[in-house]
Amino acid sequence: MKQLKIVQIGLGPLGRKIPGYIAQRQGMELVGAVDVNPALQGQDVGELCGLSPMNIKISASLEECLKAAKPDAAILTTVSTMEKVTPQIEEIVGCGLPVVSTCEELIYPWDTSPERSAQIDEAAKKANVAVLGTGVNPGFLMDALPVFLSSVCQQVERIRVSRFQNAAFRRVPFQKKIGAGLNLEEFESLKQSGTLRHVGLTESVQLIANAMGWKLTKTEDIITPVIAEKEIKTDAMTIPKGFAAGVQQIGKGWMGEGEKITLHFKAAVGEPEPYDRVEIEGEPNISSTIKDGVNGDVATCAIVLNALKQITEATPGLRTMADIPITAFFR
Amino acid sequence: MKQLKIVQIGLGPLGRKIPGYIAQRQGMELVGAVDVNPALQGQDVGELCGLSPMNIKISASLEECLKAAKPDAAILTTVSTMEKVTPQIEEIVGCGLPVVSTCEELIYPWDTSPERSAQIDEAAKKANVAVLGTGVNPGFLMDALPVFLSSVCQQVERIRVSRFQNAAFRRVPFQKKIGAGLNLEEFESLKQSGTLRHVGLTESVQLIANAMGWKLTKTEDIITPVIAEKEIKTDAMTIPKGFAAGVQQIGKGWMGEGEKITLHFKAAVGEPEPYDRVEIEGEPNISSTIKDGVNGDVATCAIVLNALKQITEATPGLRTMADIPITAFFR
């Protein structure tokens, strides 16, 4: 098998994990790294990522990087919104490279950003390469997986996906990030600051709706606290009864009066039964549960790497997880 | 959306269910039906299938059928082996039609029937159409689904799939078919007759191995009775302790000393907890369970219909569930 040569663009917390995961694979090789942060430029990417030196210096731009390296594809882990990612993708495909990105809004941007989607699609087709947004969520658990499970259904009436996580065993910064331990007023002001929001839930709703052929009349994206029903004690904090133990976000897709799609994402300290569950109301009914849920940190990096093979062979243009050949682990 | 025009080839027990399921969909329409059985020819296909008359007479051959109808794709539900299905598929693609078939060995025939696979692949490419074998099992639950779930894994060491069915609520002929109520000598002679075997388990093992990039050194396909641990009484029979309550079949894929793939299929009266489960040992570990399992009767017809859209657009040649865009319910 040919080894895929990869350039990593964006060396934030997620991007710094990718080089180590690439190094564990036989089918791919890191050949370049790019970040706009001047403090990182010129550093060895292996050293930055806590690995052995790789003899790959971080470049200021893709153009500069391409003077030394000849990658087959780019991984882009920089921003979450279509507004910010569009010019970045145009630059990458302009260099003739297919792209897999963790940009959350990119997983199905056709409804929320039709003009930017068309712009990316056109640039990718012109360059004869494919572009994909993916990740464990959004990108797989709450969108592509329920779509694939519907393959065995003669009829689908409604789809509900639940991703429930117990934050008790996560780092304290994560617990604070989801509002655990705040009173409801403090939670509300954290929510207003915007940092609580899981980006891409509406796009997951729309990816499913498009696959089912459902023309939605309305989508919703609702954030509320998970309220502690009794006092919760952890090593790091005590959450009084009635305070926030974490956050939940519910995405809904409606057709008229019918709630066709419900995506329920919950992360809370003391969540009794963490899992990822897909429920399809149809013929037959399907209830599929991943016990303990999927660890998002490893899984997001993994699915990005696993999608590289498909995306280098996919039909050019802006693709989604629902219109490329099924992704799979590849060494 | 364009309505897909379908010809149904083969009107056995499974083929007779398809026309009713097509009639429930908006995106497809039955335009022709073919069976080699002279007793069926000339009958109205709707009436044969217990529906209203459809004004479609059953033809003796596809050639005859095509004099009146202009289908976009064929559904082929006739035989289980590559030996028998190959000339049938050559005839269909020779008429310029893509094919979705329930032929069990067709779901991944490249290892067990390399010459016939190449023959079908070549004929399909020449005709510029795609050919797919699918079904709920083989085709989805024990092969395509575990492959897709591995998308979120950075490493995969082993894959185990369990499909456990409780036959207590199935028809008596089904219970007898799986050997329920026989003593172990009778079970052995039923097994020797060949009717107990679930066809395609080795092909499911090979589909997974190919997707993971594992070169298997050995496959196994082992059939044993499920033995009643205590007396089991149903409306129809009493199964003494020590007699067969049903059948189990285990497919294994080995790399040297390593058992990389284990597919465990079990159908028994009194099976306490029916389910379909995928377990991936890797990073992260995944344990995904469909509660109560998927009803195979509806689901096999459903996935055949759902695959039609992808197969009319797929890259020409012999395809598998692992190399076409993800299938999904479509109306």
The mean per-residue pLDDT over the stretch A94-121 comes to 98
Average pLDDT, chain A: 95
For B254-272, what is each residue's pLDDT tens digit? 999 999 999 999 999 999 9
CA distance B248 to B246: 7
Extract the tokens encoding A187: 């939670």
φ, ψ at B94 (rounded to 5°): -60, -25
List b or e across B239-264, with b for residues whose CB sees 16 or more CB atoms inside 10 angstroms: beeebbbbbbbbbbbbeeeeebbbbb
Write the CATH number of the domain with boundaries A4-135+298-319: 3.40.50.720
Confidence of residue A168 (pLDDT cuts 50, 70, 90): confident
ipTM for this model:
0.96
One-character DSSP codes across B29-67 = EEEEEE-S-TTTTTSBHHHHTTSS--S-BEESSHHHHTT
Q: Across the interface, do B324 and A325 touch by the CB < 8 Å criterion?
A: yes
Opening angle at CA A138, ends A25 and A101, nearest 5: 50
- Of A25, A126, A147, the C-alpha closest to A75 is A25
Of A175 and A286, more confident: A286
Measured in whole angstroms, the distance separating CA B163 from the mean position of its chain's CA atoms is 14
Return phi, psi of residue A5, to 5°: -95, 125
- Given a cut of 80, whether residue A222 has pLDDT beyond it is yes
A138 cis-preceded (ω within 30 degrees of 0): yes
Indicate the residue of A288, A299, A330 with minimum beta-carbon distance to B290.
A288
- Test A327 with B151 for CB contact under 8 angstroms: yes
C-alpha distances (whole Å) from A300 to each of A137, A210, A325, B159, B178 are: 8, 23, 18, 20, 43
Strands (E), chain B: 4-9, 28-34, 58-59, 73-76, 99-101, 130-133, 155-166, 218-227, 232-233, 238-239, 244-255, 258-268, 275-283, 286-291, 317-319
- Residue-level pLDDT at A295: 84
B181: nearest Cα among B136, B214, B226: B226
Do A288 and B292 lie within an 8 Å CB cutoff? no
Choose among B153, B298, B307: nearest Cβ to A284. Answer: B298
- Domain locations along chain B: 4-135+298-319, 144-293
Q: The tokens of B177 are what? A: 């078919």
Question: Looking at chain A from residue 289 to 318, which residues have their Cβ under 8 Å from any Cβ of chain B?
Answer: 289-292, 294-295, 298-299, 301-303, 305-307
**Averages of pLDDT over each 10 residues, chain B, 331 residues:** 91 96 96 97 97 96 95 97 98 98 97 98 98 97 98 98 92 88 95 90 98 97 96 90 96 98 96 96 97 92 96 95 94 81
Q: Which two tokens stand for residue A98?
A: 């297919």
DSSP single-letter state for residue A107: G
Tell me if A325 and B326 make a contact (CB, 8 A cut-off): yes
C-alpha dihedral sign at A91, A95, A96, A99: negative
In the beta sheet, which residues pair with residue B279?
B160, B287
Pairing of strands A286-291, B286-291: antiparallel
Cβ of B86 under 8 Å from any chain A Cβ? no
CA atoms within 13 A on the CB side of A128: 1
Contacts of B329 in chain A (CB under 8 A): 150-151, 153, 155-156, 211-212, 282
Spatial separation of the C-alpha atoms in residues A62 and A59, rounded to whole Å: 7
Supply the pLDDT for residue B297.
82
Residue B236 has what pLDDT? 83
Does A74 score more than 60 pLDDT?
Answer: yes
B283 touches chain A (CB under 8 A): yes
3-state secondary structure B175-227: HHHCCCCCCHHHHHHHHHHCCCCCCCHHHHHHHHHHHHCCCCCEEEEEEEEEE
In B206-225, the residues whose Cβ lies within 8 Å of chain A are 211-213
> Are B66 and B9 contacting, i.e. CB atoms less than 8 angstroms apart?
no
How many angstroms separate the CA atoms of A90 and A102, rounded?
Answer: 16
What's the pLDDT score for residue B58?
97
Residue A268: is its pLDDT beyond 70? yes
The confidence score (pLDDT) of residue B1 equals 57
Asked if A275 has any chain B CB less than 8 Å from its own CB, the reply is no
Q: Reply yes or no on whether the pLDDT at A1 is more than 80.
A: no
- pLDDT greater than 90 at residue A163: yes
pTM greater than 0.95 (yes/no): yes
Percent of chain A residues topping a pLDDT of 90: 91
